[in-house]
Structure 1
Amino acid sequence: MQYESILFENTGGIAVITLNRPDKLNSFTVAMHLEVRDALERIKADAGVRVLLLTGAGRGFCAGQDLSDRAVKPGDGAVDLGESIEKYYGPLVQTLRSLPFPVICAVNGVAAGAGANIPLACDIVLAARSASFVEVFCKLGLLPDTGGTYFLPRLVGTARTMGLAMLGNKLSAEQAEQWGLIWKCVDDDKLQTEARAMAQHFASAPTKGLAHTKAAIYQSPANTLTEQLALERDSMRALGYSRDYKEGVTAFLEKRAPLFTGE
């Protein structure tokens, strides 16, 4: 597929998807959805990928849905917004959450609507100090989609979620860090450098162990303690047979840096 709405890199175990409609604050069209989906399918099919970095071009990360896109533009007839969620936003969130390696999101500017919730589907979120998160849905008579009603209460609690969702006020990157919505707020000029350095770290980390870690953490809220302990047992059993575990122990005993292969 020829990409016109995104930039895609895949080298050295690091895949990078950059939303690339800066003149529209990287808002989503159906065409962009299809391009992102294609890139993600390529990533899933490549056993050499060990980390994904998602970011945006220009002064914004993503302004959500492009309301001028003909596929969803309000016109004379009613628009089935549920179809858009079912076909595009839902599968995007599910794919990001289920990738068997770390997913980093570098929020380089405004993240609004669906663009505020896509980062929450990622494992680690870095945000530029000038970035902000805005749940603008209430201003259009809608509810926070793209996983917003799922992620927000789990990350910041019911009270703060209600305020964000029902008032639509802007949340600064610094406040988002203080609330635990994101991992870290960094200076604008250091965002991409830090995000790339983190991606490089994960590209040489024990990928299978990290995959089990994220899967266990995401499953935890739905499990009882007994169920979670059983999950930990099964994961540890599987990881104990991995080459990376053997290498980690050997490197520790030999007092050297480990050379993980992700196997």
Structure 2
Amino acid sequence: MIVISICATDEPANKPLNHTHRGTCCELMVVSQNTVAHLTSRNMLQPLATQTLRERHPQRRNHFSVEDHFHFNREQGTIHDWHQARNILVTEDFIVGMITGLEQEVGPASTLVMYKIGEEWGLKDADFFQRNFRQEYNRELRQTNLSFLFEAWWWPFVTQGWGNWDIDLSEQKNGFMFINIFDSVVARTLGDVGKPVCYLYAGMFAGFFTGLIKKSLGCIEIQCYAMGETYCKFLVGKQERIDAASFWQNEGASASDIEKRMKNGQLSP
């Protein structure tokens, strides 16, 4: 299951759309038939209670499960998440259609378009996350352990089906880090096509961390499930590092080769 924000809103037509608040966006949940069966078997598609789960438990933090994160209303035909964003169920064919449609419209530039979509999304989500984190956890970001902070950002994406992650902060002091994504919905849907395909993820990571630290960062996928690997791996850092990694990748370097060169401080091709 995966959620993708699209430009839609429940706000009145004469009210400006606030793109930085998830509650004004509509999101797509891409689900498999197994997920639909799970929702039905758990009897989750029922009318909403008078109060949402968040209203009933304002201090609750461990809302990781589908049952806790989403509110399903069969009578109204709506699904809202913990942040009051509207969600729509679609199938994985949506991912295929979106990527195929972009390729037909703009050709090879479709990968850049996907990256830019993710980057813009990440920038806006960084703004939302910072405001929401201060309100929900009653603390400043700079006072928070980074591992906890990043998990607080990513857990809704895990619930929404973007996949589990592992973030390596060991090289943070050197200005870069690695992110592993397990079960990328894009790579899983497209299958083994022999090349990286998770440009939406790469753009989102670049945008989010740029917005978070207020410094321009880029991101590149150096290993992908769609290349026959067991998981996807991303490098986040300044553009000079991304350019170097891109060059090495085009020359046939593996993810482990690129990681080793980065950790050794090599930047020039």
TM-score class, shorter-chain normalisation, is: under 0.3
Give TM-score, length-normalised by structure 1. Answer: 0.26
